[in-house]
Amino acid sequence: MANNSDKINFCVNCGERLTTQSNFCPKCGKPIKQLKSVSNNASGMRLTQREPALNQKAAEHSSIWQSATTALNHYTGETGPVNINLKNLFSEVFKRHSQNEAEKIFIAGTVTTTPTVSEISADWGRPWLFSRILMFFGAIFMLLVYIAADMGNSNAIPGVIMTGAFTVPFSALVFFFEMNTYRNISFYEVLKVFFLGGALSLFVTLFLYQFVSFSVQNQVYGMMTWSDTISVGIVEELGKLFIVIYFVRRRNYQYILNGILIGAAVGGGFAAFETAGYIYNSGNLLLQTAILRAAIAIGGHVVWAAISGGALVMVKKSERFNYHQLLIPNFWVFLGSVIVLHALWDKGIELMGSLMITYITLIVVAWLIAFVLINAGLKQVSRIKQG
């Protein structure tokens, strides 16, 4: 490594070659330290000139977020933008946690473990257990893929299908379970809604499809028109909603965060069973289908139904459910948003030549809406605590 004292530099004033051992430029006589200062100042000026552009772009993104969340927040009955610090929200994900901590989360919601109103928090939670569930089942999925593909054991294929279909929806469900700050719904109840609600919503959806006719283009060429995708969105979102209504009505859930959790459970079960079918029928593309469906499942049925469930309880409030509540315009803003997201998802329009960019955009929008409802749920907690 060369000695810094022998490093060759050039005078920024006249361009003369010099060494750092010199105190003055041999040609123009300018002090070396002054020249370095001038050079550093010039670099600083260039960086400073870039800052306004970067700040302007950040301000534009912030303005878009604030405008979107302010508009949506209005329909929840709240005001102003929804400020979400994702760094804080997921800060516990990258920390070490014990098995006792995980078990404490899972035992919430029983007669002896449900906290009182004074014990619950109105702050944004910091979920982490969902990430461990995701890694756990993800590792099992990869192991089963290795057994089936590299070791040639076809007995592992059903395991590949099940773990590929259930990993992401179930992990997302655990996220919503952790975000339910009331901790008044047991994981046992959530599992019942996940499996039974998922199966029932599939049944209701297939029943509703009997009353829908698709275009000739779809029947002959397999290409969906806008009317086809909108019909699919309406049928499947209503199919899940009817089951969400059943479970919400059964327990008379009064809190928005409860509605979000029940919706996520129904949607997660629906997504898992549907994806298992897609993987099973994909033939030689089984692995590719499993990976793709898992990658995009985070913004599909589980979050769509969570939005519908949250919006349902938002308009129902503490009253017993009646179908007149479904006519409240604020509810249809959120249900309509979900139907539109579903239709756009199925239409397969490519943004910037990439279908994956389309999926990512729709996922971001879906979670933006979900976060607005979670924020409304936390505001509800504050009002309850204040009496």
DSSP codes, 6-73: G-EEE-TTT--EEETT-SB-TTT--BHHHHHHHHHHHHHHHHHHHHHHHHHHHHHHHHHHHHHHHHHH
137-154 pLDDT tens trace? 999 999 999 999 999 999
Split at pLDDT 50, 70, 90, the class of 169 is very high
What pLDDT is attached to residue 42?
46
Return the ∠ at Cα 72 (arms to 68 and 78), rounded to 5°: 120
- Tens of pLDDT, residue by residue over 35-83, are 444 444 544 545 455 555 555 555 555 678 788 999 999 999 999 999 8
Residue 59, both tokens: 């301000």
The residues spanned by each domain of the chain are: 4-62, 86-386
- Written as six digits, the tokens of 276 are 């298992």
- What angle in degrees, to the nearest 10, is found between the helix axes of 329-347 and 226-251? 130
Instruction: Centre a 10 Å sphere on the Cβ of residue 351 and count the other Cβ atoms it contains.
Output: 13
Mean pLDDT lowest among 46-60, 164-178, 280-294: 46-60
Q: How far apart are CA 122 and CA 248, in angstroms?
A: 22
Query: What 3-state class would DSSP assign to 345?
Result: helix
Scan for tokens 């997921």, then name that residue: 90
pTM of the predicted protein model: 0.84
